[in-house]
Structure 1
Amino acid sequence: MASISSLGAGSGLFTNDLVNQLVSAERAPAELRLNQRQAEAEAEISAYGKISSALEALKEPLDALSDIDSMRAFVGSSSNESVATASVDVSSASRGSYSLDVQQLAQAQSLASASFADRDTTAVGTGTLSLNVGGTVTDITVDGSNNTLDGLAAAINDSNAGVSASVIDTGSGFKLVLSADESGTANAVQVSVTDSDGDNTNASGLSQFAFDGVTSNMQETVVAKDAIFNINGIEVTQPGNTIEGVIDGVTFNLLSVGTSVVKVDQDPDAVTERVQAFIDKFNELQDVVSSVAGFDSGSGVGGVLSGDSAVRSIQNTLRGMLTSIPAGLENSPIRTLGDIGITTDPSTGKLEFDESLFKDQLQGYPDSLTTLFAETDSGDGIAAKMAVSLDGFLKSDGLLDNRTDGLNKTLENISDQRIRLDDRIASYEERLIRQFSAADSLIAQIQSTGNYVSQQLAAIAPQSSSE
């Protein structure tokens, strides 16, 4: 704020304090209006942000319920989990009971060589080692760079032949151990040799590692086996103990020989949790709307967005969908959310949930519940429609985004008005200072003239008295 330190020196009337008071009085009404408008715009932006966040939170459970598999929650149980367990793919599983009689577990083959005095200095022979696993043959060249147990093990592991090699210290020597990567007879390992010494079958040189069905210079310490089990009286043979594809959507995990009954049943609790998540997020949205757009009739005070058309549009759209009947359910015993235990409290707009009724209807009419919520061949269910509507509200050029953009432009306009106000007040202050300085000078001149006249009169007065 501009000022002149000597302002008022001549008259004592037009001081800097007076200028400051007049400037403040001129600024205050306009600044108050701008502050109020800015506070209102910022409060509305915050309120729209809260609604947007609540809609985002609601969209997640809606997307889950929009999936056609949302009502298809199944769980597998085993009467003897030490024999077998089961996991379920909800997209393809169905109810069922399966009697298992596990007669043999699958296991991967292991071979062990003869004993060697050391692992990294004694030469084991040179030539070519051919590993046949499941009909795939991998040749490994053994030469002066790798013709020790350690070198041979490293070469086998680097070959990705479906075999793992290691060197074991038995306490009385070292042995090369080969283990098939996969269980089952089809993955058994055969080792054939082209020995540099010209004899491919004897127990010296590279041929001491031969194991090809004719020559067995390595010891089979673990025999390759397939899993053998009966399922509902039908014998099944598999190379592994994790059994997939025998029953659609069900994976059996065989753990030991014995019997067990595996059941696949619908899991109503899992489905109920999905629906409860939707209800919780919907009710949280109602709390947010009530806080920012509600009206307290007792105090006569409304929220910052009370009466806002955008909020009314969102609420009316969602509430309308809650009572809609999706295509394909016109003649179904389940047509609306009310038929499955989801009702609206008219005083709060919140949803109430009768879980017991829901679970009964889920057990009796799972396909109808899927149609009620999800996107199916019949059309979009309630959750699917809501999710689409929320996408429209939340998109970058959607209803909420447009409102927020408009308020941000209001804030920019207020900022511009503050700059113009500062310029106007500065000009007003300068004008006051000029006017007050001029008045102060004039008063100072008048005072000076008065003092001169007084002095002249005082000088004349004694002469008049002496006469």
Structure 2
Amino acid sequence: MSAMNIMGTYSGIDMSTIDQLIQAESARGTKFATQKNEYQTQQTAWKDVNSRLDSFYKKLDALKSKDTFNAKSVNVSSKDFVSVTADSSASTGSYKIQVSQLASATRLTGGKIPVESLKDELGISGNLILNNGESEDPFEFNVTSKMSLKDVKDMINDQSDKSKIKANIVDNRLILERTDTGEKTLTLEGSAVSNLKLNENVVVDGKAAIFTVDGIEIQKDSNTISDVLEGVTFDLQNVHTADKSDTLRITDNTGTAADALNEVIDQYNSLNSFIDTQLSVGDPSAENNKTGALVGDSSLMRLQTNLRSLLTRNMDTASDSVNSLQDLGVEIDRDGLATFDRTAFVETVEKDPNGVSLFFHSSENEEIPSVDENGEPTTETVTKLTGFANVTRSLVNEYISSTTGIIKTKSDTYDRLIKDVNQRIETFNTRIETKRQQYIKQFTALDTAMMQAESQLQFMMGQLGGTENG
């Protein structure tokens, strides 16, 4: 009979009894599992804080750009003839636009070549020299008898970035065309010209774009023009009839800045609400009170306090008209919830877009003591970021930096703590398993002893019975 089968036969102590004993001892190890779960929950909470801070950081980026506060809106009376875009450097105003000619590329169409397939060998050879009138040297191509019409086209196109001449095939005709528009030349020579029937060419000369802005005629080689009005790009699409024109209006677009600040405020509110949840003490009077994962965490409390302070305090910036977010229609209640008055903000931007811009992204130079290469005392000029967006991003970066950030340090600490708890759990489980085996050995020995005692007793009783019968 095996030891496991013997155990409990005489003593009544079987595996269920041992399981109960082990369970009682294992209860002392639940604190490790609880501690590990707490560490993991806290680490996850900090990862969520990091993610929300990162979104907040990125949304602040728009507020430190001058372009956000000097954005322009463009309106063209018709969308059929000219498309217009304007950046922050454009001046507001109204302009009359008339397109009289679109820019086109010089093109040469060859004669039809009698082949059944574009991949058939042409059986001709010779050189083909293309000249764009701009490059110092012409572009020469060697045509061999094994080449197909497609091979010739591909060979020319392989050099199109340099030659500014591209090739195409239409109805077995080789077509050469300038890759740029305007009054540009395209000439060719060489022994392969006639074989490719390029001497039967029909040449269409390229043209410059012609249009007027407030009656001033302008000619350009391209239909996309960005050097007529500062910050304005025209994309000419169709030609007006002689009696038609379009009106272009460029106005300030305060909506871009308002949208940018509104996104920052929304993200701040989401972040602040999440932090409140993580720091919540719950209801201490409740029997099963549930607190936030990071309740009492000084780093998180400091972050929340500093963010609220930045949203309410006066900033030392280069702006003369705006000192705080409250001057821009932002209010913070006692719980840290921010509200945004878009109308008030737009009115301020319309009055002083540069002042609003400086409040968010201004900086100043500061002279600090230093030492030159000879060890002599000197001063060094450093740039100090003072604008709201810059200062706030600097605070956030202290937390989310992937190398030196507070959250990175905390995450590394949690990793070490969890690793330590795992080692404790492993050691504890090993000790419990050793204890289990000891119990099995101990109680199996007890049952074995009891079995042997019973056997000896039966033997002795048998001996006594035999003596009496004798």
What TM-score do you get using the length of structure 1 for normalisation? 0.78
Aligned counterpart for 2:216 among listed residues 203, 221, 234: 234
Q: Distance in 1 between matches of 2:303 and 2:218?
A: 57
Q: Distance in 2 between matches of 1:439 and 1:157?
A: 95
Q: Distance in 1 between matches of 2:466 and 2:348?
A: 120
Q: Distance in 1 between matches of 2:155 and 2:21?
A: 95
* Greater Cα shift, 375-384 or 427-436: 427-436
- The answer on 1:358 being equivalent to 2:365 is no
Amino acid aligned to 1:275: L
Match of 1:465 in 2: none
TM-superposed CA distance for 1:140, in Å, is: 3.7
Q: Distance in 1 between matches of 2:357 and 2:65?
A: 9
1:143/1:21 Cα in 2 relative to 1: closer, same or farther (>3 Å)?
Answer: closer
- The answer on 1:179 being equivalent to 2:177 is yes
Match of 1:274 in 2: 260
Q: Distance in 2 between matches of 1:442 and 1:168?
A: 105
TM-superposed CA distance for 1:75, in Å, is: 2.6
Is contact 1:183-1:225 (8 Å) kept? yes
Counterparts of 1:239-250 in structure 2, within 5 Å, are 239-250=221-232
TM-superposed CA distance for 1:433, in Å, is: 5.3
Amino acid aligned to 1:369: V
Aligned counterpart for 1:98 among listed residues 95, 104, 112: 95
Q: Distance in 1 between matches of 2:194 and 2:310?
A: 81
1:89/1:446 Cα in 2 relative to 1: closer, same or farther (>3 Å)?
Answer: same
TM-superposed CA distance for 1:206, in Å, is: 7.7
- The answer on 1:417 being equivalent to 2:424 is yes
1:116/1:393 Cα in 2 relative to 1: closer, same or farther (>3 Å)?
Answer: closer
Amino acid aligned to 1:335: N
Is contact 1:194-1:207 (8 Å) kept? no
Match of 1:324 in 2: 313
TM-superposed CA distance for 1:338, in Å, is: 0.9
- Aligned CA RMSD, in angstroms, stands at 4.1
1:450/1:264 Cα in 2 relative to 1: closer, same or farther (>3 Å)?
Answer: same
Aligned counterpart for 1:89 among listed residues 69, 87, 96: 87
Aligned counterpart for 2:322 among listed residues 334, 348, 361: 334
3-state SS of the aligned residue for 1:373? helix
Amino acid aligned to 1:306: V
Q: Distance in 1 between matches of 2:127 and 2:435?
A: 104
Amino acid aligned to 2:269: N
Q: Distance in 1 between matches of 2:146 and 2:448?
A: 110
Counterparts of 1:197-236 in structure 2, within 5 Å, are 218-220=201-203, 222-236=204-218
TM-superposed CA distance for 1:354, in Å, is: 0.9
Q: Deviations over 1:120-155 (max 9, x none)?
A: 899999676453434655254677749998787666
What TM-score do you get using the length of structure 2 for normalisation? 0.77
Match of 2:55 in 1: 57
* Greater Cα shift, 446-455 or 397-406: 446-455
Q: Distance in 2 between matches of 1:5 and 1:53?
A: 58
For structure 2, the 5+ residue unaligned runs are: 366-384
Q: Distance in 2 between matches of 1:144 and 1:7?
A: 97
Q: Deviations over 1:203-257 (max 9, x none)?
A: x9589967xxxxxx7544x343222222233332211211112222211112233
Is contact 1:375-1:381 (8 Å) kept? yes
Amino acid aligned to 1:110: R
3-state SS of the aligned residue for 1:133? coil
Is contact 2:68-2:256 (8 Å) kept? no
Amino acid aligned to 1:118: P
Match of 2:391 in 1: 385
Q: Distance in 1 between matches of 2:33 and 2:443?
A: 31
Amino acid aligned to 1:262: L
Q: Deviations over 1:321-356 (max 9, x none)?
A: 2123333346x2321111111111323x22211111
Q: Distance in 1 between matches of 2:455 and 2:144?
A: 122
Structure of higher CA gyration radius: 1
Aligned counterpart for 2:357 among listed residues 365, 370, 374: 370
Q: Distance in 2 between matches of 1:301 and 1:237?
A: 74
3-state SS of the aligned residue for 2:266? helix
Q: Distance in 1 between matches of 2:12 and 2:124?
A: 116
1:154/1:425 Cα in 2 relative to 1: closer, same or farther (>3 Å)?
Answer: closer
* Greater Cα shift, 139-148 or 14-23: 139-148
3-state SS of the aligned residue for 1:295? coil
Is contact 1:110-1:177 (8 Å) kept? yes
1:181/1:46 Cα in 2 relative to 1: closer, same or farther (>3 Å)?
Answer: closer
Q: Deviations over 1:387-444 (max 9, x none)?
A: 2222220123422222233233222222222233234334544555566567667777
1:24/1:236 Cα in 2 relative to 1: closer, same or farther (>3 Å)?
Answer: same
Amino acid aligned to 2:356: L
Counterparts of 1:5-154 in structure 2, within 5 Å, are 5-10=5-10, 12=11, 14-28=13-27, 30-90=28-88, 92-113=89-110, 115=111, 118=114, 129-134=129-134, 138-140=138-140, 145=145
Match of 2:269 in 1: 283
1:165/1:409 Cα in 2 relative to 1: closer, same or farther (>3 Å)?
Answer: closer
TM-superposed CA distance for 1:315, in Å, is: 0.7
For structure 1, the 5+ residue unaligned runs are: 197-203, 211-216, 463-467
